[in-house]
Amino acid sequence: MHVARLLLITATAFMVTGCAVGPRYSRPGADVPGTFKETPPDWKQVQPSDEIQRGKWWEIFKDEQLNALEEQVNVSNQNLKAAQAQFMQARSLVRFNRADYYPTVTAGLSATETRVSSNRPVANVAAKTRYSDFILPVDVSYEADVWGRIRKSVEAASEEAQASAADVESVSLSLHAELAVDYFEARSFDAEEQLLNSNVIAFEQALELTQNRYQGGVASGVDVAQAQTQLETTRAQAIDVQAQRALSEHAIAVLIGKPSSSFSLPTVPLATSPPSIPPGLPSKLLERRPDIAASERRMAAANARIGIARAAYFPTVDLNASGGFESTSITTLLSGPSGFLAAGISATVTAFDAGRRRALNEQARAAYYQTVANYRETVLQSFQEVEDNLATLRILEDEAQKQQAAIDAAERSLQLSTNRYKGGVVTYLEVLTAQSTALSNERIAVDISRRRMAASVLLVKALGGGWNAANLPTNFLSSGSKQGVPSAPMAERAKRTEDHSTSGTE
């Protein structure tokens, strides 16, 4: 018992005074602009709307059908479920590594019956040649975390789990954005089909007029053929739009976890304008993008692995104890005299490994530098995505105004050409040209509306969809802990590490 107490005191001393080798972590800097270049000068730097802050950013479009579809993504999308399962694996790995903080205890029971040969060499005729042996052992082994290898392993696993949680949010954001883009694309196809069908009616009336003029000897057969061609071409275009719309509908079905054959989207033409989406300050983007948070957490995990590789240069300290009961009779197995105890401490160090540890250290540092480059590239891409969609929205808004002016001019030209044709001043070719121009401009306007809605969705996605890095979970001890409900904000952890240098020893 004296030895056991001594080992316990020694283990406690190692845990209290042990140090963790390896570099301290602080988030490397990245180029962050003061403002977004494409932000309109009359916009104020305000936070996203309440809908975006709540996470249900799609509600800013005020479309109940879209809201209902977006809610089904969280419940039924298989890609999101796969990402959530991957996070569960990462969370379990944290608990697996944390188990090394505690001793490993094994117990067993053995019973043997032995008969020894009486004719064996150097046999003692007085000794028993047959006896029983009952053993009830308990073994305790513990690796003292003197150099912080276990602490660094837990830290790396925790950072990877947080990165996995951010991956779940990134997948969720991408899926919701993809659904919104497909939804507005389907609505734009509905608008385009409605436009084509209305032109089919107009072209049928024009064909009837041309046929009547031909029968009256005023128009030629060429005019009739041209009117017929314009009508049939427009009918074919309307059918082609139906095929494209079906593909968007099928894509939506997969996103909400339903077979394409069992899902139908009601026909509703697109008739809405994109909402105003303030981008906020660029510096806030680092905390609002889940992909940036995932990249940053993996960078922290790679930094911790440098400490794990560094710990291989130092001795491994193991504490071992064995105890239990042993007796030749089961009736006396648990009696005091049957007890036994052995305890000890050992330290081992690798004296020569032909450069293996050095290679592992170099590999760990190179892996860390890779994550730093990946993090900075992710930051740059995030700013690019915001600027791209801000520019798209700004330019398309101006283009939409100009396009409406072109539509108004084309309609006036069509009306004048029709009147001139009815008066016998021009051939039907002029009317045909005016019809084609007017229809083309109207279809372009529909496409501009689709692109504006898609750009607004992608801008929300580029801004993080209302997510914040403080939502990352930090408590992985309980198997019932939920992702996205952290026990402490990640922002506080980042603040605690800002004063640390990227080199040195804890």
Q: Is 106 domain-assigned?
A: no
Q: What is the pTM of this model?
A: 0.84
Q: Is 143 domain-assigned?
A: no
Please, which residues bridge with residue 111 across strands? 134
Cα dihedral: 146, 151, 152, 153 (round 10): 110
Q: Are strands 316-327 and 130-144 parallel, antiparallel or unpaired?
A: antiparallel
Tens of pLDDT, residue by residue over 130-187, are 778 899 999 999 998 888 899 999 999 999 999 999 999 999 999 999 999 999 999 9
Q: What's residue 338's pLDDT?
A: 86
Answer for the pair 267, 65: CB distance below 8 angstroms, yes or no: no
Q: What's residue 26's pLDDT?
A: 85
What residues of the chain score a pLDDT lower than 50? Answer: 479-506
Q: Is 142 domain-assigned?
A: no
Q: Is 293 domain-assigned?
A: yes
Q: What's residue 492's pLDDT?
A: 37
> What is the Cα–Cα distance from 495 to 505, expressed in whole angstroms?
19
Tell me the residue range of the domain where 443 lies: 23-97+158-309+361-497
Q: Is 188 domain-assigned?
A: yes
Dihedral sign for Cα 278, 282, 283, 285, please: positive
Q: What's residue 4's pLDDT?
A: 53
Q: Is 70 domain-assigned?
A: yes
Q: What's residue 54's pLDDT?
A: 65
Q: What is the CATH number of the domain that holds 380?
A: 1.20.1600.10
Instruction: Count Cβ neighbours within 10 Å for each residue of 87-126 and write b for 16 or more, e otherwise.
Output: beebbebbeebbebeeeeeeeeeeeeeeeeeeeeeeeeee
Give the total number of structural domains in the chain: 1
Q: What's residue 424's pLDDT?
A: 86
What is residue 480's DSSP assignment?
A: T
Question: How many CA atoms lie within 13 Å of 157's alpha carbon, on the beta-carbon side?
Answer: 22
Q: How far is CA 458 from the centre of its chain?
A: 15
Q: Is 205 domain-assigned?
A: yes
Q: Is 134 domain-assigned?
A: no
Q: What's residue 195's pLDDT?
A: 96
